Structure 1
C-alpha cells in the first residue's frame, strides 16, 4: 500500500516531475489528489522564492550558506503547508481535472485556506528575514546611534573593507587594537556602507560610525530622524550627527572619540584583544542593542577572513622586475 505521506524529494525538486507524470497517468482519484498536492507545493516554493527576491536583505547575512539554508527552509515550509491544506490550489486542480468534490464547496474552501495560508507564510517569511535586514545600533545621548539610509558608496563588503583598511590601520594603532575591529563597527553601523547618514547638501555625511554632534554651533553636523532602542523598544528620534569630508576622516574621528571619552577607558585597557575591545565599548554604552557584541564580533571575524585572503593573494602574486 502506497503511503499518503508526501515525499519532499518528489514535489520540491523539479527532477521529481517525472514521478508526477507517472502518477497522473494512472488516472485514479488518489493519484490525481497526490499530483495536485505536489504541484501546489511547487507553486508555494516558487512563491516563497519570489518573496525573498523582492527583499534586498543585508550583506551581513547574505552569504551563500545563508541562502542555502533559507532555500531548505522554504522547501520545508512548502511541504508543511501542502500537507496541511495548502493554499487551495490542489483542490481547484482536482475539481477541474475531474475530482469528485463539489465546485462551490471547492471554491469556498480554497478561498478560506488561501487567505489563512498566505497570512501564515507571510508571518514566517517576515520572521525568517528580520535578522537579514539592517538593524540600527542605537546608543545613549553621549555617543552613537543607528543610522538612516543614504546612497551606497561601496558596491560590496570587500570594496568597503579594502577602501577603509589604510585609515583603519592608523585608527587601530591609535587605539591599540586591530583594524578589523574598527572596520567591523563601521560595517555593522552602516550595513557595509549602504546606509550612511545623508548630509545636508544631499551628499553623504561620511558618518560611518553614527557619532552624534554635541556642538550646536558646528557647521559639520546634520539632523536626521533615526531609530534608537529606548526602554526596550525602537523609537523614532531626531538627532544631530557629525559630518566629515571623507570616510577616512570619519575613521580618524572614531579613534579620537574613543580615546577622548573616559567611559571607554576599560575598553582601551583591553584593546589588544579586539573581541574584548568591542565587548567593552558595548558595555560602556556605544550601542544599546543588547545583541550588539555578538553581531559586531561576527562581522569582525568575516572581515578578518577577507583581509587574510587579500594578504595571501598579495603574497602569492608574481613579482615584477623594475627596469
Structure 2
C-alpha cells in the first residue's frame, strides 16, 4: 500500500494526518509520524526565531515573512532527510512495538518527596576523568543533540516546554556530554542534569566534587548525585522532579528561553548566580542551533 505524504506545513495537513491515523496500518503510521515530526520541527524553529532579538532598523515584516518561508522549506528538507529521530519513536509507539520502560521508581524504590533532589550547578571531577575514560556521551555538540533529542522530546512534552530547552540544559550541566559524573567503578552515572541524591533518594548514588556558591562565593565540596541505568531514566527523572515540585511550577509550560532559565534558577535549581544567563545563552546560541540542523542531515 502506498500512502501519499501530505504537506506537513499545509494548513489542511491536520485533517490528512487524522485520516491517516484512522487507517492504523504500518505504512499510514509511518506517514503520520513523519508529518507530526515535521510540524513539531516547524514549531521548534519558530520558537528559536522568536527568541532572537529583532534586527532593529534593518528588520521588517517582509523580512520576517520571507524568513518564515525559508524556515518552512528548511524544515521540509530536514524531515525528508530523516528528521531528528522523533518520527521513529512515534512510529514505534503507533505500531505498538515501542519497548515499554518500567517507571524508574519501580526499579529503584518509592519516589522521593516532591522537593527532594535540590541541587546546585557543578563543575565535577568527571571533567578531569573524561579524557582517561573516553567521551561518556558524545564527541561533538552534533552527536550530543542527535542522541539526546528523542528522550528530550518525550520529557519536554510532559512539561509543556520545547525539547531544545532540555537539550541545552543537559549541555550546560555536562559540557555537551563530555563531563558526565562517573560511578566509583568508572561507569557512567547517566546523570545529565547533575541532580543530587537527597535523603529520600533510594536509588544508586555516585559521588563527585562540585563547586557550590555560598553567599556568592564558590566552595568546593564532594556531593552525592543520583545514578541511573540509562539516559532515558535521567530524562524521565528530571521531568518527574520538575513536574512534581511546586517550586518549579513556573517552569512548566514555558515557551520563552529566558523565562524558562529564570524559573529554574528562582526555583532553586542552581546556586550559581549566573546560571539562568548561561542557560539562556546556550538555548539561543549558534552551537545548539547548528547541532539541531546538522543532526537532521
TM range, smaller chain? 0.5 to 0.7
Residues 273-282 or 249-258, more deviating: 273-282
Q: How much does 1:310 deviate?
A: 4.2
- Which of the residues 113, 118, 122 maps onto 1:146? 122
Residues 121-160 of structure 1 mapped to structure 2, 5 A cutoff: 142-148=118-124, 149=126, 150-151=129-130, 152-153=135-136, 154-160=138-144
- Which of the residues 281, 306, 310 maps onto 2:291? 306
SS of the aligned residue for 1:252 comes to: helix
Q: Which residue of 1 aligns with 2:278?
A: 295
- Which of the residues 256, 266, 275 maps onto 1:273? 256
Q: How much does 1:215 deviate?
A: 3.6
RMSD (Å) for aligned C-alpha atoms: 2.1
1:207 aligns with 2:194: no
Whether the 8 Å contact between 2:165 and 2:283 is mirrored in structure 1 is yes
Q: Which residue of 2 aligns with 1:248?
A: 232
Distance 2:291 2:145 in 1: 8
Which structure's residues are more often helix, by fraction? 1
SS of the aligned residue for 2:250 comes to: helix
CA gap 1:141/1:217 in 2 versus in 1, 3 angstroms: closer
Distance 1:147 1:243 in 2: 17
Distance 1:219 1:165 in 2: 25
Whether the 8 Å contact between 1:177 and 1:274 is mirrored in structure 2 is no
TM-score, normalised relative to structure 2: 0.54
Which has more radius of gyration? 1
Q: How much does 1:261 deviate?
A: 1.0
How many aligned residue pairs are there? 172
Q: Which residue of 2 aligns with 1:172?
A: 156
Structure 1: 5+ residue stretches without partners: 1-139, 314-323
Q: How much does 1:196 deviate?
A: 1.1
Which digits, 9 at most, give the CA deviation of each residue in 1:61-118, with x for residues without a partner?
A: xxxxxxxxxxxxxxxxxxxxxxxxxxxxxxxxxxxxxxxxxxxxxxxxxxxxxxxxxx
TM-score, normalised relative to structure 1: 0.50
Greater relative CO, 1 or 2 (CA 8 Å, sep 6+)? 2
